[in-house]
Structure 1
């Protein structure tokens, strides 16, 4: 089982570092290597033994906050919703 986990970790690191598993590449991509180790084994429990799955979780792009459009209308909707909730809560007291 340990051999399977270590092989999966090596495969994930190899995929993340594009086949250059050497000292310099590992140091430059240390954040991804540590995330891969965390995805593979957590608190001594082997979570994943598929190197491709580990690499895909680590390299998944983060959500882009620039896609969220905040304009005056959305702020007014949030304000009116908050106002309605406050009126209801005060009415319950």
Structure 2
């Protein structure tokens, strides 16, 4: 959202005023430290003149990448635990 805001020349306060939020909430959105409810997403999409899907597209894509990375890490951890369990049960 930060890139879209900067391209449009808008400030965080401009968006906050349009959406009915505080500037600090917009800053947290841009930093990925706060989520949106549907009404806020609609208002932000309206501000930029795009659909909600377009407005959330980058965020959704980023979340999907993070999910895939997390699943990969969990899989590696499972394999390490299984390997440890297999050797721990072997008295050698």
TM-score, normalisation: structure 2: 0.28
Structure with the larger strand share = 1
> If you compute each CA radius of gyration, which structure gives the higher value, 1 or 2?
1
Structure with the larger helix share = 2
- Bigger RCO (CA 8 Å, 6+ sep): 1
